[in-house]
């Protein structure tokens, strides 16, 4: 159907993993949030630190997230999700509505690998753009 | 040599593309900066806007970048680059030293696809983490 159909053979499976993860965030289910993540995940989150390496550090980024916003259907919503999937490597990206925002305010990129026959998320990058005006408060 | 050697058959070629792109940024060579990018690239940049879609909008993000910092060897340096590559989909990520900074201050994630036999960058995500303290200036 498209020029790149061979890239997309695993798209459905990966979309299910991502939507299940999104649902786990909305329900605050930490076990489900980290269920399909690699032990060696490298996370770039919206707030500091610059990076968080490993599944325990990744879990703490969600502890921080829920410190600022309670679980709920609007707490973390992925829009315009696009997935590029090969046989054993994939990436996905989209925009994020956060904490009940009506419009997207952040961006999300995921990297996935098929390891031992199972897709896992091994990299995440969440961010909010910075305003163009130089900060007056250093 | 590793558990995931099959993922890495294209790593060398992709690393060359990324390092050539980094060099093009350091020398301010716009034609080389966009040479291996997809026409439909989706860019999430450090400053606003939330996203830039298409190669012309992508080019403008570099016009903005060079408005704030002149080309030079320290203007954009990728550290800790990690690449996961399949046969036709790949992603890469690393930390960025920007504008002569001695330590990394930003994060970079790239998504690549092999199209018509050639690897192209079809997604980029650049960001700087936000400070944890809530802004006093709204």
Q: What is the mean pLDDT of residues B56-72?
A: 96
C-alpha count within 13 angstroms, C-beta hemisphere, residue A84:
27
In this structure, is residue B138 part of a structural domain? no
What SS3 class is residue A2? coil
Any domain includes A132: no
Residues of B with CB under 8 A from a CB of A: 3-4, 6-7, 42, 44-51, 82, 84-91, 93, 95, 104-105, 107, 109, 111, 113, 115, 122-123, 125, 127-132, 136-137
pLDDT tens-digit series, residues B11-29: 999 999 999 999 999 999 9
Give percent above pLDDT 90 in chain B.
87
Domain for residue A13, yes or no? yes
Nearest alpha-carbon partner for A26 in A96, A80, A88: A96
User: Would the CB atoms of A86 and B84 count as touching at under 8 Å?
Assistant: no
Could you give the number of structural domains in chain A?
A: 1
B4, B14, B44, B94, best to mutate vs chain A, most A CBs in 10 Å: B44
Q: What residue of A is the nearest CA neighbor of B111?
A: A91
Q: Across the interface, do A129 and B45 touch by the CB < 8 Å criterion?
A: yes
As to burial, measured by CB atoms within 10 angstroms (0-12 exposed, 13-18 middle, 19+ buried), residue B70 is exposed
According to DSSP, the β-strands at A76-85 and A52-53 are: unpaired
- Model confidence at A2: pLDDT above 60: no
Q: Rounding to the nearest 10 degrees, give the CA dihedral for residues B72, B21, B19, A45.
A: 90
Q: Which residues of B touch A128 (CB under 8 A)?
A: 127, 130
Contact A130 B90 (CB under 8 A): no
A50 vs B4, B46, B104: nearest CB? B104
pLDDT tens profile A45-95: 999 999 999 999 999 999 999 999 899 999 999 999 999 999 999 999 999
Residue B5 above 50 pLDDT?
no
Residues 6+ apart with CB under 8 A from B43: B51, B52, B53, B57, B58, B61, B123, B124, B125, B126
pLDDT exceeds cutoff 90 at A99: yes
Q: What does the pLDDT look like over A24-52, one tens digit per residue?
A: 999 999 999 999 999 999 999 999 999 99
Is A135 within the bounds of a domain?
A: no
Encoded tokens for B8: 């890495």
Contact A51, A134 (CB under 8 A): no
Residue B135 is assigned to a structural domain of this protein: no
- Under 8 Å CB pairs connecting chains A and B tally to 133
**Residue B51, in any domain of the structure:** yes
Task: State whether A107 and B127 contact (CB < 8 Å).
Answer: yes
Distances (CA, A) of A33 to A17, A62, A88: 10, 9, 22
Q: Which of B48, B85, B93 sits opposite A125 (nearest CB)?
A: B93
Report ipTM (2 d.p.).
0.92
* Interface contact flag, A44 B91, Cβ < 8 Å: no
- Lookup: tokens for B128: 């700087």
Residue A112, domain extent:
5-127
Q: For position B102, which CATH number holds? A: 3.10.450.50
In a domain, B84, yes or no: yes
Pair of tokens at residue B97: 């030293």
Beta bridge partner(s), residue B8: none
CA distance A27 to chain B (A): 24
Question: Quick check: is A117 in a domain?
Answer: yes
HSE at residue A124, side-chain half, CA atoms within 13 A, is 27
Token pair, residue B34, equals 């966009």
Whole-angstrom Cα distance, residue B38 to residue A68? Answer: 37
A59, A61, A63, A69: CA torsion to nearest 10 = -140
Inter-chain touch A46–B130, beta carbons under 8 Å: yes
- pLDDT-derived band at A8 (thresholds 50, 70, 90) equals low
pLDDT number for residue A87: 94
Phi, psi of A64 (to 5 degrees): -65, -45
Q: Please report, for residues A15, A28, A46, B52, the alpha-carbon distance to residue A127 in angstroms, rounded to integers and kept in the order given.
A: 21, 20, 4, 15
User: Is the CB of residue B130 less than 8 Å from the CB of residue A128?
Assistant: yes
């Amino acid at each position: 159907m498209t020029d790149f159909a061979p890239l997309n053979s695993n798209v459905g499976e990966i979309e299910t993993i991502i939507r299940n993860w999104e649902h786990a965030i909305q329900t605050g289910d930490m076990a489900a949030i980290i269920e399909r993540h690699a032990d060696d995940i490298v996370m770039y989150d919206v707030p500091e630190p610059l990076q968080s390496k490993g599944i325990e550090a990744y879990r703490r980024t969600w502890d921080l997230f829920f410190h600022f916003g309670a679980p709920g259907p609007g707490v973390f919503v992925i829009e315009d999700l696009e997935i590029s999937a090969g046989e054993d490597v994939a990436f996905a990206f989209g925009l994020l509505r956060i904490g009940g925002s009506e419009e997207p305010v952040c961006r999300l990129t995921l990297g996935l690998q098929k390891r031992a026959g199972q897709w896992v998320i091994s990299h995440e990058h969440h961010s909010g753009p910075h305003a163009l005006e130089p900060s007056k408060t250093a």
